[in-house]
Amino acid sequence: MNIMALINALPGACAQGLIWGIMAIGVFITYRILDLADLTVDGTMCTGGAVCIMMMLSGHNVWVSLLVAFLAGMLAGLVTGLLHTAFGIPAILAGILSQLGLYSINLRIMDNKANQAISVDKFGLLVSLRYIKGVPFYKNTLLIAVVIIAVLIALLYWFFGTELGCSIRATGSNPNMSRAQGINTDLTKIIGLMLSNGIVAFASGLYAQYQGFADINAGRGAIVIGLAAVIIGQVVFGKIHGNFAFKLVSVTLGGVIYYLVLQVVLWLGLNANDLKLISAIIVAIFLAIPYLKGKHFSRPVKKGGADHA
């Protein structure tokens, strides 16, 4: 096995991990803050890329394209939120319905084609796998991704400190108590789902630029990678007591760790066709670690607080 091949692949793995880390922040909002299982992200992870690439192909600026992708993701989150709150459909089923409908919508967005490519030489892409090495530092995809994550975390830290943000957090912690305090929990759920899917779609726009094309299957299994980043971040950095911003940082680092582990696994010789299986195994392992640690390695509680002879 060529160790240099692994070393050369690591910057690209880190770049992908950072972009998927942005997506994982969106998953964190629903999974951890709202305590909802939202499967819409498998659809919006394609929608954002499709909208961004088609906007750029139509001659729009990259930032305008990313903004429209973000808004498209928010619209998908709004649909899921209304299905859940206004029609009483369980959140997981509402997400599945939205995801299913988005498949056809994504095809329409991409002019009924399963794939739409964009040239790094003809368009001013913000990130690209071509921008990892041999480019000025200010164009380096790793730096751009880090700056975007820093700005996003700062904005979310501010937002979830506002009255509305605190209401969303309270809804996820205890919806019954939140309603008793006069919080419109249906509204906070909808806003949380919109924000989550907007961030996912934004990450999708970046990822489509990075790989040079939007693909109809880009979001398939995205929820697994998003959950992997959240869980890995929790397992690896859970012992460190940090504020809300640190939790978001740990989620993005979880995405990087996930892709680094994936790269090492592929370097060891596993078939690339087994990526989905490998992803599922990695997530299962990191999900099981806290449970197994608590069950088999925690100190037994002594009855009565003292030893008995």
Which are the contacts of 302, defined by CB distance < 8 A and separation ≥ 6? Answer: none
Domain ranges of the chain: 3-296
Model pLDDT, residue 236: 86
pTM for the predicted model, two decimal places: 0.92
| Mode of pairing for the β-strands spanning 115-117 and 213-215 | antiparallel
Of 215 and 134, more confident: 215
Residue 5, pLDDT score: 75
Give CATH for domain 3-296. Answer: 1.10.3470
Structure tokens at 303: 């009855």
- Give 88-142 as a DSSP string: ---HHHHHHHHHHHHHHHHHHHTTT-SEEE--TTTS--S--GGGSSSS-GGG-HH
Task: Give the pLDDT confidence score for residue 154 in this predicted structure.
Answer: 97
Collapsing DSSP to helix, strand or coil, 30 comes out as helix
* Distance between CA atoms of residues 222 and 14, nearest Å: 17
Percentage of residues of the chain with pLDDT beyond 90: 64
Q: What is the mean pLDDT of residues 92-105?
A: 95
pLDDT tens sequence across 102-161: 999 999 999 999 999 999 888 889 999 899 988 898 899 999 999 999 999 999 999 999
pLDDT tens readout for residues 237-259: 878 877 899 999 999 999 999 88
Q: How many residues does the chain have?
A: 309
Q: Is the pLDDT of residue 305 over 60?
A: no
